[in-house]
Each structure stands twice: as structure tokens, then as C-alpha cells.
Chain A
Amino acid sequence: MSLSRNILLGGLLCLCVVAAALISFLWTPYDITVMDIPNKLQDPNAAHWFGTDHFGRDIFSMIMVGARTSLAVALVAVGIGMGLGVPLGLWAAANSGSWLDELIMRGNDLIFAFPSLVIAILITAILGPGAVNAILAIGIFNIPVFARLTRAGALPLWQRDFILAARVAGKSHARISAEHILPNVANLLIVQGTIQFSLGILAEAGLSYVGLGAQPPTPSWGRMLADAQTMVSFAPHLALIPGLAIIASVLGLNLLGDGLRDHLDPKIRVMRT
């Protein structure tokens, strides 16, 4: 079966961003910690592909290193969401209708009532701004997303014959959840994972933009946009390029998520053929 256009295009965009982040560990065109004031605010040219900022630093190099921050924050935040949300969802589904299920779901509702950015602001207000606290803030909001999705995917499975067979065989709820339910909801989780990953990149950029995310000297796309704000009238490339980097990553992940959903969902696959 051929891969869809969405997977190819999304995968390509994601590959570029991941490659930029990984290569930046070994090599960047210029050192981003060195200022070069005589060459400040240059438009994109042969020597500096994306131009230079107000300290004369190479924007292309900063975008490469910034990709690292974005990807790391979003990835760990998705990890937190999945790591806690999936077991909670599986647990709630296995004990559906019990007070435990009710408690988990109402707890989730409560987190949803807090606008995600407000949670992030509260956490950074308590713990101070920084990449780690941004991860925590974004990760906490991911927990109910994965818990709900896992529960919704797992509930109908508990009515199926193969689960009944496993119960008759004497397997515990935890073992059935791990061995039979989880593999069957994995597709859902992968697709949602890519979506939450892209939302994580957007959230990290937003937090860094208001000064609550990664702190200088760690480059971050959101921080670059905040620095560019006062210079946008005479050096628009300072704002344009980090913005396009964010859009490319988020678009890539969303296309990949859409493509994977179509690819992994047998119903949609049948409809296509």
C-alpha cells in the first residue's frame, strides 16, 4: 500500500526540522554565542542565508539550535501526557462506572476548565520561567487529553469476545490492559501524539514569546519572535523566519498525523480502495 501525499509531505517537513536540530549538535554555519555587531540586521544573503539579528548573530544557525528547544520541549511534554494519561485512561476503562473512573474523569474535566496557557502561567509563576517548567506546564495539559482518548478507545474493547476470553483465562485487569487493550488503542495514541506534539511546539513558542519559556542564551523560536517585535518595521525577516520555522514544523506534524490516521484506520483505508 502506497503512503499518502500527507505522510510524504508531512514526513519530509518533520525530517527537515529534526535533521536541523540534530545537525546543530555537531555543526552550525556560525557560532550563535558570538556577537558580530558590524554585520547586524543583514537581510538574507549568500553569507547569511536567513540574515543576521540585532547582535549580528546568524539567524539560520539560531533557527537550527532553536529547533532543538522546540522539539525537546514538545517531545517531553507529550511523553509526560502519554506516560501518565494512558495508564489513567486504561485504569478508568478497566474500572468503568466505579468511583475511581468517575474521579479520574472529573479530575480531567477540572484540568480542561483551566485554559492551558493559564496553567502554564501559574506553573511558571510558582516555579519560575524556564524550558523545564514550560515542559511541565504543557505536559500537565496533555494528561487529560491522553486519558480521555485512551478511555474512549478502551471502553468498547472491554465488551469484545477476545477480552472475555482473556478474563476467563484468569488474566488480571492490569495484564489485559497492557497486553490486549493497549496494542488496540496504539493507533489512536500515535495520531493524537503527533497532534499534541504540534500543539506543544506552538505552546512552547507562545510561552517563550511572553518570556516564560526557554531563557537566554538558549535560543528558542518564540524568544526570537519576541526580540524581533520592536524591529519588525525595519527588519521584517527577524519575525518572518522564526514564524515560518514554527509553521513548517506544525504543518509537517499535522499532515503526518492526518496521513497516519488515514493509513492506520482500516475503515478509511477500505473506503479509499
Chain B
Amino acid sequence: MLRYTLKRALSLGLSLAVASLVIFFVIEVVPGDPASFMLGLNAQPDTIAALRSELGLDVSKLERYLAWVGGMLQGDFGTSYTYRTPVTEMIGDRIWVSLPLALYALTLSTLIAFPAGIYAASRRGKPGDMAVMGATQLGVAVPNFWFAMMLVLIFAINLRWFSAGGFAGWDKGVAAAMKSLTLPAISLALPQSAILARVMRSALLDVLGEDFMRTARAKGLTRRQALMRHGLRNAMIPVLTIIGMQFSFLLAGAIIIEQVFFLPGLGRLIFQSISARDLIVVESVVMLLVFLVILVTFLVDLAYAAIDPRLRSRT
């Protein structure tokens, strides 16, 4: 297991290094010089040059890349061009909206999908299965930002159970903060739970045909007992893969959902920074999102090996 973990960790480090190169050099292509942009049309060339020097834009791209990566390794993402505050602080404020939102949505999606998928698999071909599958077809087709608007219309505008947007802040208490994340999390979770329920169902149906399931039934277990004790664990590999992938969809989806609910998260920060040509913030937020996605993939790989020992020896 140690060798497997080390191998995966090495691949994690390599992926991060390549991703940082791609992000830095892709974003550096963005037309428009941040210094000229900040100072406006009437700025004098020497003022622009002074600001470029102050922002550290007057050195070569390679030096800037190395300084950026070196800083990140020490937890320093640099200083925002427009706000003149450390990027780490800006990200720190906002990640406590985006990350809990993605995790909240992932939890909801799993809580909906597992029972729905297990129920559908155990009722294969019956009306219950068809109803769940029909609902998931619809769930996959619904755009989450549209669903979010409908939730606002029903639960915020008509019923007044939730606020239509904004974030209460964690200093107002966990309950208030979670309440303001509830409608966004539901709108993010719905399409993902539909996908996950379908994967859960088909993974369980695949397992149901296996010899060990027949043996379990022959030992006297009921269909449900065999499914819960032996089927679930074996069906978890494809399900875990999808859960891992969903985390990245949820993080990305949160960027749009934050716009619907006016949540002060990383998504809004990216949009604001792009329009202000605040490249250092854009680079850092994108790098952070990619880091989280690669990290989750790494953790999922480790979870595979924990669930299925055969995978450890194969790699």
C-alpha cells in the first residue's frame, strides 16, 4: 500500500507542476497590460513603468513563474494588482463559501442518490425502478442555474422560507450560514444526484449477477441482505469514481450558482478579477481549483485501493 501511495503521490506532484505551467502561460497570453489597465487611458509611460516594476511585471516570464510557484509552496499567492491585498487573504475569505457549498452539495447528492439507486436496483424492471429512472433522466436534463432560479421563485419569493441571495457569514452562526447555502446546494446537488443514482443502480445490477452474490443468497441471506452486505462494497468502485469527478463538477458549477445567489465565493472572485485584469488572482484561484480536483482524484485512487486490495498489486 505504501508503494502504491508513493507512486500516486508522485503522479499528483507531476500533474500539479504541469498544471501550474499551463495555467501561468495560458493566462499570461491575456491581452492587456494590468498596469496600463489600472492607470487608465491618460497614464504617462513612466508612471506605467513604475507600477509595472512595483507589481513585479518588469522581470521575465520565467522569473515571475518561479516566484509565483515558490510563493505558493509557502502559502503566499502574491498581492492582488487591484485590491493591493494578499491574494491568500482574498482566497481565504471566499473559500469558506465555495468549499462548504461544494461539500454540502456533494453530501446532499450522495444522500439522495444512494437510497434512490439502491431502491431502483432492488426493484429492477418494476414501476418503482422505472419511476426513479424517469426522475433521474429529468434530473440530468435540468440546468442547475435554472433550477436555482425556480427554487428562489418558490422558496424565497413566494414562501419566504429562505433569502433570495447573499451569504449570512459564518460569524452569524453555523445555522444561519448553512441556511443561506441550502438553496444553492440543492440546486447544485440535483443533477449530480441524478447521475450518481444511475451509476449506483447499474453498478449494483452488475454486481447482482456475480457468483459471490449467488453464494450469499444460497447461504440463506435475503436479496436485500445480500445486496447490503456484499453488493454495496463491490459496487463502490464506479460509484467512488463518479463521486470524485462530481467534486470537480460541483466546484465548477458553484462558479455559476454563486452568480445566481450573489454568493461571495471563488466564482465571483474569478469573474471580478478577469474583468479587472487582476491576473495574479485569476491564476491563483484557477490553480487552487485544479489542485483541489487533482487532490480529490488522488484520494479517490487511495480509496479504491482501500476498498479493493487487488488494485494495490496491479499498479
Chain A contacts for B19, CB-based, 8 A: 110, 113-114
Q: Do residues B290 and A118 form an inter-chain contact, with CB atoms below 8 A?
A: yes
Partner of B26, one of A109, A126, A250: A126
Which among A113, A117, A258 has the highest number of chain B CB atoms within 10 Å?
A113
Question: In whole Å, how far is A72's beta carbon from the nearest beta carbon of chain B?
Answer: 18
Chain A contacts for B146, CB-based, 8 A: 205, 225, 239, 242-243, 246-247
Q: Do residues A209 and B153 form an inter-chain contact, with CB atoms below 8 A?
A: no
Task: Kindly identify, within residues 112 to 134 of chain A, every residue whose CB is under 8 Å from any CB belonging to chain B.
Answer: 113-118, 121-122, 125-126
Q: Do residues A210 and B15 form an inter-chain contact, with CB atoms below 8 A?
A: no
Q: Do residues B138 and A251 form an inter-chain contact, with CB atoms below 8 A?
A: yes
Q: Do residues A206 and B143 form an inter-chain contact, with CB atoms below 8 A?
A: yes
Task: Kindly identify, within residues 138 to 161 of chain B, every residue whose CB is under 8 Å from any CB belonging to chain A.
Answer: 138, 140-143, 145-146, 149-150, 152-153, 157
Chain B contacts for A109, CB-based, 8 A: 15
Does B208 reach chain A (CB closer than 8 Å)?
no
**A229 CA to B255 CA, complexed, in Å:** 17
Q: Which of B52-60, B86-94, B246-254 contacts A (4 or more CB under 8 A)?
A: B246-254
Known: A113-B290, A122-B286. A205 touches B143 (CB 8 A): yes
Does A202 reach chain B (CB closer than 8 Å)?
yes
Known: A115-B251, A225-B149, A243-B149. A210 touches B141 (CB 8 A): no
Identity of the chain A residue whose Cβ is nearest the Cβ of B294 in the assembled complex: A113
Q: Do residues B141 and A122 form an inter-chain contact, with CB atoms below 8 A?
A: no
**A247 CA to B153 CA, complexed, in Å:** 18
Interface SS of A by simple majority: helix
Residues of B within 8 A of A (CB-CB), count: 42
Q: Do residues A246 and B152 form an inter-chain contact, with CB atoms below 8 A?
A: no
Q: Do residues A243 and B293 form an inter-chain contact, with CB atoms below 8 A?
A: no
Q: Do residues B274 and A243 form an inter-chain contact, with CB atoms below 8 A?
A: no
Identity of the chain A residue whose Cβ is nearest the Cβ of B260 in the assembled complex: A229
By Cβ-Cβ distance, the 10 closest A-B pairs, closest first, are: A115-B252, A243-B146, A117-B252, A250-B141, A251-B141, A125-B274, A115-B248, A247-B141, A233-B157, A113-B294
> A122-B27, A125-B282 are known contacts; what are 5 more A-B pairs with Cβ within 8 Å?
A110-B15, A116-B252, A210-B256, A233-B153, A233-B157
**What are 15 contact pairs spanning A and B, CB under 8 A?**
A113-B15, A113-B294, A114-B293, A117-B255, A117-B256, A121-B270, A126-B26, A126-B30, A126-B31, A206-B256, A209-B259, A210-B256, A228-B149, A229-B260, A247-B138
Q: Identify the A interface with B (CB < 8 A).
A: 109-110, 113-118, 121-122, 125-126, 198, 202, 205-206, 209-210, 222, 225, 228-229, 232-233, 236, 239-240, 242-243, 246-247, 250-251, 254-255, 258
